[in-house]
C-alpha cells in the first residue's frame, strides 16, 4: 500500500512539474498542427487518476490549480464546429473525440474494498441485535 502511495505521489509531482509544458511530450497541452489543443488521451488518464484519488487541485509552481476546470475549458475551447476534436499523436479524429468526451464526462468508478467483520468469532450464525444496549 505504501509503495502505491509513493508511486501516486511521484506521478502527481511529475504532472505538477510539467503542467505548463506547451507540448505533448511530456505535457498534456500541446502545439497542434493548426493551433494548440490538448492531448486527449492524457487528459482522460489524468482525470481518471485524480478523480479516483479524490484530488480536486494540484500545486503548480506554488499556485493551487483546479485541474478539471483548466482541462475541461481547454477541451471545450478547441471543439470543432461539427462537434469532433482534432487528432493527436495518440489517435485520429474519432479516437480524440472519444477521449475528449470521456474526460468531460468525468465519471470514475471508485475502488471499493470489501471488509468482512466476524461479530462473534466461533459462533454460527453471527446474530446481531442492533437495538441492544
DSSP state of 111: P
How far is the C-alpha of 100 from the C-alpha of 65, rounded, in Å? 20
Domain locations in the chain as residue ranges: 2-105
Band (102; pLDDT cuts 50, 70, 90) = very high
How far is the C-alpha of 68 from the C-alpha of 31, rounded, in Å? 20
Beta strands in 39-124 (DSSP E): 58-60, 63-65
Q: Return the SS3 of 31.
A: strand
Peptide linkage before 125 cis (omega within 30 of 0):
yes
pLDDT in tens, 28-43: 887 654 557 899 999 9
Q: Return the SS3 of 60.
A: strand
DSSP state of 109: P
Band (110; pLDDT cuts 50, 70, 90) = low
* Better-scored residue on pLDDT, 17 or 130: 17
Closest CA to 42 of 4, 111, 89, 78: 89
Instruction: For the beta carbon of residue 104, count every other beta carbon within 10 angstroms.
Output: 16
User: What's the pLDDT score for residue 90?
Assistant: 78
pLDDT in tens, 57-91: 999 999 999 999 999 999 999 999 999 998 887 78
Model's pTM, two decimal places?
Answer: 0.74
User: What's the pLDDT score for residue 33?
Assistant: 45
Stretch 8-18: mean pLDDT: 92
Amino acid at each position: 500500500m505504501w509503495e502505491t502511495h509513493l508511486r501516486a505521489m511521484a506521478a502527481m509531482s511529475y504532472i505538477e512539474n510539467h503542467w505548463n509544458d506547451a507540448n505533448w511530450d511530456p505535457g498534456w497541452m500541446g502545439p497542434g498542427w493548426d493551433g494548440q489543443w490538448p492531448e486527449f488521451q492524457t487528459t482522460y488518464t489524468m482525470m481518471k487518476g485524480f478523480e479516483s484519488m479524490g484530488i480536486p487541485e494540484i500545486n503548480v509552481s506554488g499556485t493551487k490549480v483546479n485541474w478539471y476546470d483548466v482541462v475541461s475549458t481547454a477541451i471545450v475551447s478547441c471543439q470543432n464546429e461539427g462537434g469532433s476534436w482534432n487528432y493527436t499523436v495518440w489517435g485520429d479524429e474519432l479516437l480524440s473525440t472519444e477521449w475528449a468526451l470521456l474526460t468531460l464526462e468525468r465519471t470514475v468508478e471508485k475502488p471499493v474494498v470489501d471488509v468482512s467483520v466476524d461479530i462473534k468469532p466461533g459462533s454460527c450464525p453471527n446474530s446481531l441485535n442492533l437495538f441492544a444496549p
